[in-house]
Structure 1
């Protein structure tokens, strides 16, 4: 159950305000490891570039997200925030942000209806800029006439959301400019690969307490997330098979040293199956029927559509055997579904480490500042993160690590310019 908290200046719905002190400690832990965000905040705080601007946020409510939200608040933004997943909100962080004067609509274990209501509550706040992870907030905004007239721009965190926005653009229905933060090199090369790679296995291990060494792990999809998951699983001693529908990525996986096969061929031998595709119906009933006793099913994609959980729940009644682990008896064999098929690294664990999210959220914060300053000059389309921002984030990250790199000489710059 959630407890609704209302006051004249700060409406919101969270689990329990008493968790704020715990949330503050988690926030401080992440803040110390996200120096890039602090650098951006301190550089811009005097000018208050977001003063008076209403910012609507739909992100996973984690300690890392609290660092981004607090930085935006320090730069002048008024904020309403909800969770990007019904099961990913961390209640102590929600309480901390609520205590800081934000309109927070998030608690762990929301129903689908409650999740949608939280999104509507953020839109009711009348944000001028919306920051999303997965595209649900953007999609809801496009269905509301009032939101259409108020929102001047937005940002999008993840692959799934960028694809949805691109579809709106292709149909001529995108109503405001959006920066695809996911497409920044300093986002997908690190967040998607290193962040999801580590945190997905973290979630699986926290849920199951299993030994990965010697297990047959089947990774569905070899995009940046799949690359990270496959690499980390192999690093822990697993034998990894990759399944793909893209022939180029399949060749890449093979040349990276992984076995590559069709999922139907890999199903009988797999001990752990991890979906990393952003696609629907990847693991289906015909695959469940082929799996061996004890197989574990986990999803690393944003939406809970990659594993056909509907078929599982229709086939067998689940038994909760551990937190975030349900057992199904299918064709006389036990199959174990993690986190109800939702993104395992955020439901069964804490999401990405702060050091990785510092890169992603530095892109978010700088992109929010860019939209706030330039929205009236931006076309209504999906924009790439400006190259200057991408490079600036990389330099900030190197500085935080104490790393110095070479600079091109005058002669090298001239040579590069003359040969391009």
Structure 2
């Protein structure tokens, strides 16, 4: 019985306290620790569940060997420590030496200081090797222990995409300067006057312009930015390259175009309308790009439509309307919208009266010539009539011989010789 009982207590048992230190013998927290040992010859090796070291760098385990013969018991065990991207190990013997079981890893204390472009401290989160997350204090500092190898350090700040590669060889301080930008945006009207209380949004930041029309931005994460400006009914987007300049200006044009000097001319079957259209203001948005200029018309109070107006001279725009033969009147108005959607409409409605039924007309000079020719023809015709009457009278009175009267004709017949041929004298032989 004694032999059996003694054999039951063969092997060994140990409560293990593991302490993990860096090269400066400072405790390493959040290190992963586990132990591998032999349970018995027949059952083989066993591994504990991993455990994280506490703030004092310690982790605790219980090991048991159940070998039947004490002489066959393997009292060695290995402590493994994983920290960051490195793995360390150290062999110990049960019931030999002192506690805690200390493992010094190849790691060093590191101080990280986060600043902006102006070297001002920043309180942000930092991710090391995509595993360890730190937060810098109000002075921009954070402390950690890093293994002697290459590491990636990534600041977590809005949508900043910046990664720094570092190689740790000893105790050191890492200056993490965030690639951030500052920017001043000024909002003015078409005359160059500042606009106060305009909303300006860049990325996650939103500010109102001050009395000088300015909004100041700091710690922007991108060099190419889009700014959204909202004021009253106006909404504008603008892009800026902060590597070229950290200042920008946006114009909000609030004045509609000016329409003046409207002239109407008819050319055959077309009606030509011209007007001077201007977009006032030194910084006006202009009448190009998104601008729209058109002439809206109504023919005979029935047919409606519109035609675009085109630039034909300096600030002079023209539109043409085709007129049908049965056109009696045309009403039209000019609508001008600048590039910032400010719209002006001509103040009057113009009416063109059509008296003739046909639109085809002779030019005015040709019409005058026809009237003149018609007058001359009448005058010549009258003269020809007078000349004809005069000629007939002259012929009757001067040229045609007189006819004898009936009494004279009878007397002439009585006195005439009986043989008229005898009255002719004979020629000399």
Q: TM-score range by the shorter chain?
A: under 0.3
Q: TM-score, normalised by structure 2?
A: 0.16
> Which protein has the bigger strand share?
2
TM-score (norm 1): 0.16
**Greater relative contact order (Cα 8 A, min sep 6): structure 1 or 2?**
1
Task: From the CA coordinates, give the structure whose radius of gyration is larger.
Answer: 2
